[in-house]
Structure 1
Amino acid sequence: MVIGLLGGSFDPAHEGHAHITREALRRFGLDRVWWLVSPGNPLKVNGPAPMAERMARARAVMDHPRVVVSDIEARLGTRYTAETLRRLMARYPGVRFVWLMGADNLAQFHRWQNWDWIMQNVPIGVLARPGSGTRARLGRAAREYAAERVRERQGERLGHLAPPAWCFADVPLRKHSSSAIRARGEWGGRAKDQG
């Protein structure tokens, strides 16, 4: 089984997350995708809304038979992606995992703790995000692993390739953004009109 892992604070989850998940299932030949709703993002200053509210919103947004919304990072007590991946790989030895990320994350991937270990141990599926494509492809991780880039038309094999392997998918772009939703006051754990 090949499972794509899409981690994030999902603060809040929105149609853009659902869109890239459906694209990842199709383009990277995944059997399932797990949304890993994180307790918090070490690269962000402000903490997210409460976990229960983010989980409920994520499940409402992503209703798909091949997608699981999970709080496994909170249950494992992990904080960093590499740590989570190590624990999941040990817990599920027969599963092939693919780390999924938006192009905005690839652009700053070299700032993640143990990013090089992640590249060396798990194939990575990168999905285009508005305004991030060129910056991501010119970022440190993309440059250092340029030889391991899989052509988009071969992306459906990604989960079966030995890492390092990564693929950039130019998916149709949606302008949804958790930051914009929060800035408009539509999220803060509760919709603005609910009080």
Structure 2
Amino acid sequence: MKIGLYFGTFNPIHIGHLTIANHLAEHSDLDQIWFVVTPQSPFKKKSSLLDNYQRLEMVFQATKDYDKLRPSDIEFSLKQPNYTIDTLVYLEEKYPNHTFSLIMGEDNLKGFHKWKNYELILENYNIYVYPRISEGKTDTQFKDHPKIHHVAAPIMEISSTFIRNSIKDGKNIRPLLPYAVWEYIDEMNFYK
């Protein structure tokens, strides 16, 4: 089975994340998309970042009605600070019958050459890149790399920061969140 790994804090997960993941599940050769919830670093306490399991619960709520989308807490048990290459190696050992690929926005691709063992990742894994509205010229370093696949997914410029700030300011942001996620945030009084 071909699994696309979509990493993020998902603080909170929103319709932009879901739209991109569902597009890749339906319009690429990936069989499933796993939302890999990035744990809060024990070295960096960020007050706006919800607890790992609260964010995982939101991803679960957002994906429960989609057969091809799954929440993943795989990084919660890995040594911190964790690097993508370590997660990939761990997943390959744990799921030898799956092949894993990365999903990232064009903006992240620009800094990819700074990732730990990025050459090893490029050698062994496909990367699916979705478009972002970004400042400056597009990075051409990986332009024609055979492992990098540019996907014509919808451009979704919704940010979790904007959502958190809007909730704090008492704004109605329900259309930007899956309904079950909005209900959970409202019930738990998050981001206020």
TM-score (norm 2): 0.77
Which secondary structure does the structure 1 equivalent of 2:55 belong to? helix
Unmatched segments (≥5 aa) in structure 1: 150-164
Unmatched segments (≥5 aa) in structure 2: 174-183
Q: Cα RMSD over matched residues?
A: 2.8
Return the alpha-carbon distance in structure 2 between the equivalents of residues 15 and 117 of structure 1.
32
Q: Which runs of 4+ in 1 moved over 4 A?
A: 189-193
Residues 113 and 45 (structure 1 numbering): CA distance in 2 closer, same or farther, change over 3 Å?
A: farther
Aligned mate of 1:146, from 143, 148, 156: 143
Offset at 1:191?
Answer: 4.3
Aligned to 1:155: none
Identity rate of aligned residues, in percent? 30
Which secondary structure does the structure 2 equivalent of 1:172 belong to? coil
Q: Write the letter of the residue equivalent to 2:166.
A: R
Offset at 1:147?
Answer: 3.2
1:29-80 deviation per Cα after TM superposition (whole angstroms, max 9, x unaligned): 11111110010379x8836210111011112222311111011111233611
1:81-160 maps to which residues of 2 (within 5 A)? 81-129=84-132, 131-132=133-134, 135=137, 137-138=138-139, 142-143=140-141, 145-149=142-146
Contact 1:28 1:125 in 2 (8 A): no
Return the alpha-carbon distance in structure 2 between the equivalents of residues 66 and 83 of structure 1.
24
TM-score (norm 1): 0.76
Contact 2:40 2:51 in 1 (8 A): no
Aligned mate of 2:74, from 72, 79, 90: 72
